[in-house]
Amino acid sequence: MPDPISVLVFTQTPISEPLIERLRAVSPRLRVEARVAPSLDELGDVWRGVEVLYTSWFAPTPQMAPDLGWVQGQFAGVDHFLGNPVLQQAVLTTTSGIHAPNLGEYVLMMMLAFGHRLPRLLQYQQKSEWPQDRYRLFAPAELCDCTVGIVGYGSIGRQVARLARAFGMRVLATKRNIAGADAGWHLPGLSVAEQPDRLYPPAELKAMLAECDYVVLLAPLTPETEKMIGAAELAAMKPGAVLINVARGGLVDEPALIEALRAGTLGGAALDVFTREPLPADSPLWTLPNVVLSPHVGGITPHYDERAMGLFAENLRRYAAGEPLLNVVDLKKGY
């Protein structure tokens, strides 16, 4: 029999034993150990011979884990791993694809909330009164009359497009390689074929923004995308448009966003991510009336571990068989 493969599942919250057993059942070669600890320092000496690591936030140095050849991240984003020298010896993969159903619903929820004036309704509810001109103030913008622009058109973007189309919306999108196919993992039943009404290259981002009633940020955070939505891009958006960010806070120039929200040139923002997390208590975003905030929970689902372990199990099967892994990160691109 070929040599055994030592696998360490290192998380901050426990993975259920049936899911760990699912990993062990992939191949008799696998030696899977699950450890829960708040940090690397709390793990102790567990690295000897570890070849495969499943981890959320932390990865060891090459000195700690000289045999490590593959790191499977627990999340879709990998900006917290980039720069770790262990990636000079180890392949990095992500769980991109598992978040599409819940984040798609989150985005749709926010579009419906702003379209039907929910933030404004709640403000008056807190006052225990309704305004005299309620028919004007609460008149909705029906989604079937609106255009959504998706910045970063991967598995989540395609799910947003599916849901938006079900409401009769026009769908625009931008991605780095408009000709390239998406070879990443996707949940069963969610195809990779969903195409927007128009696909823009990054150089034409402002042209797309000018068309959109809602702009959804789904791009990875890289040196190239940091603050990609700044004052100029916000000024290019349609008056009254709504920005929805469920990707990374660093994609947005936060002071410029606050200024646009205060000025009323931007209709509103739904933000699940921020430049600093948790969001500082003195941030003006907390009290702006046209902003809805959530504490980076958009990607949470009761099915998270099940889906992540399903993807990891398939990648373990591929690894043991010598086949190409899914969701391999291009370190030069940062995603």
d(CA 229, CA 285): 16
pLDDT of the residue at 32: 99
Closest CA to 246 of 74, 80, 117, 75: 75
d(CA 76, CA 161): 19
pLDDT of the residue at 187: 83
134 is catalytic: no
Closest CA to 100 of 329, 330, 311, 273: 311
Q: What are phi and psi of 272, to 5 degrees?
A: -105, -10
pLDDT surpasses 80 at 97: yes
pLDDT of the residue at 185: 78
CB 7 within 8 A of CB 55: no
Mean pLDDT of 38-47: 92
Mean pLDDT of 19-41: 97
277 is catalytic: yes
pLDDT of the residue at 2: 87
Distance, CA of 57 to chain centre = 15
pLDDT surpasses 90 at 188: no
pLDDT band for 147, please (50, 70, 90 cuts): very high
Token pair 């691109």 is at which residue? 333
Mean pLDDT of 297-309: 97
296 is catalytic: yes
Specify the DSSP element, H or E, that contains 271.
Answer: strand 268-271
Mean pLDDT of 163-181: 90
Mean pLDDT of 44-59: 95
pLDDT surpasses 70 at 183: no
The one catalytic residue among 31, 116, 198, 296:
296
Classify residue 124 by its DSSP letter: H
With a pLDDT cut of 70, the percent of the chain lying above it is 97
pLDDT surpasses 80 at 178: no
Closest CA to 124 of 115, 137, 110: 137
pLDDT band for 263, please (50, 70, 90 cuts): very high
Read off the amino acid at residue 8.
L
Q: Is the dihedral of CA 175, 254, 104, 211 positive or negative?
A: negative
- Least confident range of 71-75, 144-148, 180-184: 180-184
The one catalytic residue among 51, 248, 254, 307:
248
Strand order in the sheet with 30-36: 30-36, 5-11, 52-55, 70-73, 91-93
pLDDT band for 318, please (50, 70, 90 cuts): very high
Q: Could you report the per-residue pLDDT of 198-233, keeping only the tens digit for each?
A: 999 999 999 999 999 999 999 999 999 999 999 999
CB 272 within 8 A of CB 246: yes
pLDDT surpasses 70 at 1: no
Distances (CA, A) of 265 to 112, 230, 243, 257, 269: 20, 14, 12, 10, 12
Residues 6+ apart with CB under 8 A from 203: none
Mean pLDDT of 179-205: 81
pLDDT band for 193, please (50, 70, 90 cuts): low
The one catalytic residue among 33, 42, 277, 323:
277
pLDDT of the residue at 334: 94
pLDDT of the residue at 254: 99
Mean pLDDT of 295-324: 98
pLDDT surpasses 90 at 194: no
